[in-house]
Structure 1
Amino acid sequence: MPLGDSITGSPGCWRALLWQKLQKAGVNNTHFVGTLPAQGCGFTYDGANEGHGGYLATGIVSNNQLPGWLNQTHPDIVMMHLGTNDVWNNISPDKITTAFSTLIDQMRVSKSTMRILVAQIIPMAPSNCADCGNRVIALNKAIAAWAPTKNTTSSPITVVDCWTGFSATSDTIDGVHPNNSGNTKMANSWYQPLVDNIEALS
C-alpha cells in the first residue's frame, strides 16, 4: 500500500516507474493495493494507492481514516511518504512523528507482522513557504531518530531516504511535486528497500 498525499497519488508516477522496475527485475509476486485507482502515467501499471491530495499525517490520525483503508485492502507492506502538508502547515516534527506512531499502531492492528517503509520525504521549496526547506530537514532528522523507537522484530520499520540527491528546483514541477526526473529518483529510492521487504515475506 503506497500511503501519502498528492506526491503519492496525483498522479504519483514514481509508483508506475517503481512497478515497471519490479517487473523488469522479475519481481512479479506483488500487488499494489489502495482504495484509489491508478492515474495516467503513459503506460498500464498496477496503480492502486492511498495517495490523498492535501492530506496531513496529523489529519489522517485525527479523522481516524487509516483503519478503514486498511480494512478494505489488507496490505502486507505499507510504503509511507507523508508529512509534506504537515510541514507546509508548520506542524512540528514531534507532532508529525507522534501521528506516525499512531498510524504504525493502526497498521499493526490490521496485521501484526506489517512491514513498514517510512520515507524521509523529498525536499520542498514552494513559492509561498520560505522556511519549508528547513522544516523538511528537521522532519527527516526526526524520522531517523523516531523510527528505531517504533521498530519491532515482527513488524520492522525501514527508513527510506527519498531526500538525498533530490532537488526541489530541478526535480519538481512547482517546488513540491516531482517531475519526470523526480519520479525516476523516487522510484529508485523505493526500489531496493521494497524488494528487500518483499523477499523477507517470500
Structure 2
Amino acid sequence: MRRMRRLFSALLTGAAMIAATAAATGTAQAAPEDGTAAPSATVRVMPLGDSITDGYNVPGGYRIDLWQKFVAGGHSVDFVGSASNGPGNLPDRNHEGHSGWTIAQIDANITNWLRAYTPDTILLHIGTNDMYGSDPNGAAGRLNTLIDRITAQAPNAHLFVATIIPIPWADGTVRSFNAQIPGIVQNKVNAGKKVHLVDMYSALNASDLADGVHPNATGYSKMATRWYEALRSVPGSLGTAAVPASAGHGLAA
C-alpha cells in the first residue's frame, strides 16, 4: 500500500513539474475538450512607411496609442521590423518606418523585411516624400508595384493601405495621389488579395500637424484611432481578442 502511495505521489509531482515548465516557457495549451477556445496566437504587425511611421517629432508616433488600444482590446500583438524607437510607455518599439524614404526605397527593401519578420498584418502609409520629389505623378504606379510585391511574397498577410495624411502646401498633389489609391486597392481585392483601404487623409487636418508635414501628438493619436478602427473591421487581422477577466459576461459597447 505504501508503495502504491509513493508511486501516486511521484506521478503527481511529475505532472506538476511538466505544468510548471510549460508555464515558464510560454508553451501554448491545447484547446479544452469542452469546446472553449484556446488562447489566440500573437499577431505580428508591421508598421511600414517613412518618418510618419517612425514618429518624427513624437518618437513612437501613432504606435504609442495604437499599442494601448491593442492592450485595452485584449489583443495579443507583436510589432515587428528592423527599426526601433519610442517612449517608455511603448513596450514594443519595433517598426519599419524610415525617415525621408520614398515608395521606391521601401519597394527595394520590402522583400528582405518580409522574409525576416513574416508579418501577419501590415500597416502601410507611404508616399509623402514622393509628393515633393521629381515625379509625384508616378507615385500611384509605384505604390501599385509595391503592393503587388507585398501580396506576392506574403499572400496570407492582411495589407492595410492608407491614403497619406494632408500636406497643406501640397494639397492638390496629395489629393491627386490619394484619389488613385481606392481604385488600386479595389483591383487587388477583385483579384482575391487581402488588401484593405484606410482613409487616413480625412482623419487629420492642418492643426494636427507639427510642421506642415508630420503630425503632432494629437495627430498621431488620430492616426492610431483610424488604424485601430480599420483593423477591427477586418476579421482575422488582429486574431481573436481575449475577454478581460473584469469584463464578466458583458460586451463592450
Would you say same fold, with TM above 0.5? yes
Relative to structure 1, is the Cα distance of residues 37 and 96 closer, same or farther in structure 2, using a 3 angstrom cutoff? same
SS in 2 for 1:197: coil
Q: Deviation per CA, 1:119-157, whole angstroms, max 9, x where unpaired?
A: 0111013xxxx4x11111111111112211122565321
Give the whole-Å Cα distance in 1 for the aligned partners of 2:190 and 2:63.
27
2:21 is aligned with 1:21: no
Give the whole-Å Cα distance in 2 for the aligned partners of 1:167 and 1:86.
20
Report % sequence identity: 35
Relative to structure 1, is the Cα distance of residues 149 and 155 closer, same or farther in structure 2, using a 3 angstrom cutoff? closer
Give the whole-Å Cα distance in 2 for the aligned partners of 1:31 and 1:165.
25
Q: Considering only aligned residues, what root-mean-square deviation do their CA atoms show, in Å?
A: 1.9
Relative to structure 1, is the Cα distance of residues 34 and 186 closer, same or farther in structure 2, using a 3 angstrom cutoff? same
Q: Please, which runs of 5 or more residues in structure 2 have no aligned partner?
A: 1-45, 241-253
Match of 2:159 in 1: 116
2:89 is aligned with 1:43: yes
Larger Rg: 2
Give the counterpart letter for 1:173 in structure 2. Answer: A
2:147 is aligned with 1:104: yes
Give the whole-Å Cα distance in 2 for the aligned partners of 1:77 and 1:152.
19
Q: Deviation per CA, 1:5-55, whole angstroms, max 9, x where unpaired?
A: 00001334211101101111212x221111101322x51332211100000
Give the whole-Å Cα distance in 2 for the aligned partners of 1:90 and 1:195.
37
Residue in structure 1 matching 2:205, options 134, 154, 167: 167
Q: Deviation per CA, 1:99-129, whole angstroms, max 9, x where unpaired?
A: 222222222233222211000111013xxxx
Pairing of 1:79-98 with structure 2 (within 5 A):
79-89=123-133, 91-93=135-137, 95-98=138-141
Match of 2:195 in 1: 157
TM-score normalised by the chain length of structure 1: 0.86
Residue in structure 2 matching 1:144, options 160, 182, 191: 182
SS in 1 for 2:159: strand
Match of 1:183 in 2: 220
Mapped contact 2:62–2:224 kept (Cα < 8 A): yes
Aligned residues: 191
TM-score normalised by the chain length of structure 2: 0.70
Mapped contact 1:34–1:69 kept (Cα < 8 A): yes
Give the counterpart letter for 2:86 in structure 1. Answer: Q
Q: Please, which runs of 5 or more residues in structure 1 have no aligned partner?
A: none
Match of 2:11 in 1: none
Give the whole-Å Cα distance in 2 for the aligned partners of 1:110 and 1:178.
31
